[in-house]
Chain A
Amino acid sequence: MSDELDEIQAIFFEECAEGLATAEEGLSAMAAGDVSSEVIAGVFRAVHSIKGGSGAFGHAALLAFSHRFENVLDEVRGGKIEPTPEVTKTMLAAFDLLSDHVAAAQGQAGLPNDAEMLAELDRILETKGASAGGAAPAAAAPAPVAAAAPAADEMGFVPVVVELEDFDADPFGFEPVGVSLEDFDAPAPTLGGWIIRFRPSRAAMANGAEPMFVIRELEESGARVIDVDSSALPDLRDLDPEEGYLQWTLSMPAEIEESVIRDCFDFVAPDSVIEIEREAQPEPAPVIEEAPAPIAEAPVVEAAIAETVAATPVAAPAPAAAPKAAAPAAEGKAHEAAQTIRVDLLKLDLLLNLVGELVIRGSILNDRLSPRDQERVELPELARLTREIQDNVMSLRAQPIRQAFSRVPRMLRDLATETGKQVILETTGEMTEVDKGVIEKIGDPLTHMIRNAVDHGVESPAERIAVGKSPEGTIRLSAEQKGARIFVRVSDDGRGINRERVRAKAVEKGIISADAILSNEEIDQLICAPGFSTAETISNISGRGVGMDVVRSNVEALGGRVEIHSTPGEGTTFTMALPLTLAILDGMIVRFAEQRYVLPLANVIEAVRPEAGQVQPMTPTSEVIELRGSYLPVKRLSEMFGLAANDPRDPEDSLVIIVDSEAGNVGLMVDAIDDRREVVIKSLDENLHPIRGIGGATILGDGSIALILDIDALLAGTSHNNTKYAPKGIAA
């Protein structure tokens, strides 16, 4: 497959993800009782887009399933099937399967077994469809009828059901065109409208003028395809895939300006046949326009070029009636495209870099000007503008956290099925914007937290009833921004943390000693300790004793922290406090060996100016500091970095910064603290390679570079070697 096609396919999957999110949102709203027509139409459109794209890329299973799903949705949308809770529930389950199908098409999973669901969808179609709307429309039949002659419906029309994927080597390179007649529930065009004939020339095809786009554009102005003339098609063996053989005839409402129609053909090579004329006599109106209501409610009819070829003889007698009129494969994308564009993240990062540089150069310029010049209006104005640009560029990377929340409903449904517990999800703050990098990385912690809440928090329905709670547990998922942090909370109204049991377990596992005195909060925190698990049986949901441990380490790796609040009998709340962006770090700028370094403020506990005798050698190569009666190891950073061997400086002239690391609390000896501020993190490995102990670099106000220390990695490297920082210097 060519790169270009891969790229287009990648876009398709992105759109699938968006479509799935939209569909799920709509279905959830329906489940919650909102069955308004907009909501239903939104779900329909989303599934419809996925179907359209799946056909184009040859994902047959996805196409077949989405087609069937769409049929049901269509009936619901048309009011033929009542969106009862049972129907909605089935559709949610169908949605889950659809997600699986998309994953399978992406090669991320195996093909799901959809036979049962397909049968269920068919059953809904048959029973509800028939009872509510009379004769089941022909097109509601299972999709892969392909070229089998479909039964004529009561109008005498022959719906043409075509599966494009059966036609692997689509000779035209056209995308399949899914059509839904409901798209045309606008009033039938008045007679005397426009008739447009369009036959793309070979040159137009060579220039990449995709006929479908032109037709789609026309349709957006109200046009309908009333005929496709395929008589010029040669035999397959003579067919030149780059030639244009087809002629489309479209009708367009009379009130549309001719210029609007002309505009649609702007990019089509001039030698294509483009005829635009007023319909002379109103009499031979296309039959379809007189079609009574049932037609308008007819479900989606697949029409495709391939079948048009085969079906020409059949369709010929009533060309105007052939209900096809291509709806855009990615219907609903058009208006979205007007509002958003896809930009490579790398481009944003480059922009961010350049703006950062602009800020720095601005402040250097400011420093070099005389005080009088500095106060000129232009300069502060320039600085303000630059800052504003910087803020805006940063915000470009921000995305609603909804993206991370979107997989939770599905997960909860699966969990509910597995555990037999009943859970309602309440979500708030899903539009809170966070850096894309953060969103990508909180998925796993969030999954564990939700699983933990269902598995350990929420009780079984029987248990809940016994303690006077409603049988359904509630999980609240919320996000809010406070200052430079974003708080993501998962709370349940379950049984809360059983502190006695947690404590006993921790003692049993050797995490704490039997006589340790712990506050309630400290006991709660134990469930995040490595290797801790209180689940009595190892379920496949949680209870392997890794879950909450992973949550904590992932969140801390992001520069965040996890808090747990639990009230026995009432529930537990997990809070992740995360930085708004991964690109910014709250840091303390320290100086040693004439260089400046950044210590992440999250690691810093306190700074101490040692008095004489407070820092003492323990061995010839190691020192300790006495702090309120306990002794902590002290490291001389300049020595660790090999910048000043045998740093002769007296501890009394230095500052000792006590930092919290995985290796425990350690004192780091530096010369001075320069500043405390937010710094923009730049990666070292973009142009070099990662260096162990260095988390990155930042550019200071004067344009020089300061290295950001990765305290955990730095100190982990020294635990067995107290003198020098491990010389290997490479983190994987």
Chain B
Amino acid sequence: MTPTNVEAIAAADRKIVTFILGKQVFGIDMKALIEIREWEEPTPLPSVPHFIRGVTNLRGTVVPVVGLSERLGWEPSVLHSRSCILVVNISGKRAGFLVDHVADIIPISDSDIQPAPDVEVGEQGIISGLVQVPNKIQAGDEAATESGTMVLLLDLEALNVTRHLDLAA
């Protein structure tokens, strides 16, 4: 959390944490983030959807670890040295998301957010919007164009990671 441009922060409506998943750059609201942890193999659970990789110990509480890539319908993430877990708070419940690596913390203003184009996405509302940020994220080649890098903003609630089964059952 080392804002380089203090004025930009002051003008910003919110800060987002961006991270790389496959070739995509995603962003979540900074306020939801609790901490970033090193990847540790979680304890697998029986009878849960494939994207729940298991549970892990977060300072004495049992927190589910979600393969975010699988949850979004992509191939499961390949684990590597920079793989990490974003621990987030989703309306009071905590969950960890496996991501390829964390990129940056970026101030954005609400007016920068464009609605996600109405394409066939299977599940409504998971991508809450798109925002273009300056090119300094190097990982996602495909996401970066000359004008900037596309960041997909995730709606954590809509991911339904802790309620998914209740709905299915």
Contacts and interface: CB of A to CB of B under 8 A. Distances in A.
Interface in B44-102: 44-48, 52, 55-57, 59-64, 93-95
Given A697-B55, A703-B57, A705-B62, A689 B162 contact: yes
A593 to B, nearest CB: 9
B162 A687 contact: yes
A687 B94 CA distance: 5
A565 interface: no
B169 interface: yes
Nearest to A638: B46
Contact of B63 (A642, A687, A696, A704): A687
B47 A728 contact: yes
A727 B47 contact: yes
Contact of A357 (B47, B60, B169): B60
Given A687-B95, A692-B47, A705-B43, A730 B169 contact: yes
A354 B59 CA distance: 6
Contact of B47 (A354, A686, A691): A691
Given A687-B162, A689-B165, A689-B166, A706 B43 contact: yes
B57 A688 contact: no
A110 to B, nearest CB: 36
Nearest to A697: B62
Interface string A667-702: 000000000000000111011110111101101000
A642 B162 CA distance: 21
A420 interface: no
B33 to A, nearest CB: 15
B43 A693 contact: no
Interface residues of A, number: 35
B48 A691 contact: yes
A643 B47 CA distance: 10
B165 A595 contact: no
Contacts of B52: 688
A154 to B, nearest CB: 65
Contacts of B136: none
A353 B59 contact: yes
A157 interface: no
A688 B46 contact: no
Contacts of A704: 43, 57
Contacts of B95: 687-688
B46 A699 contact: no
Contacts of A631: none
B46 A641 contact: yes
A193 interface: no
A95 interface: no
Contacts of A683: 62
Interface string B123-149: 000000000000000000000000000
A729 B48 contact: yes
B116 to A, nearest CB: 28
B46 A684 contact: no
Contact of B46 (A354, A356, A640, A689): A640
A707 interface: yes
Nearest to B49: A729
B55 A688 contact: yes
Contacts of A688: 52, 55, 62, 64, 93, 95, 162
Nearest to B162: A688
Given A595-B44, A688-B93, A696-B62, 10 more contacts: A683-B62, A687-B64, A687-B94, A689-B165, A705-B42, A725-B47, A728-B47, A728-B169, A730-B165, A730-B169
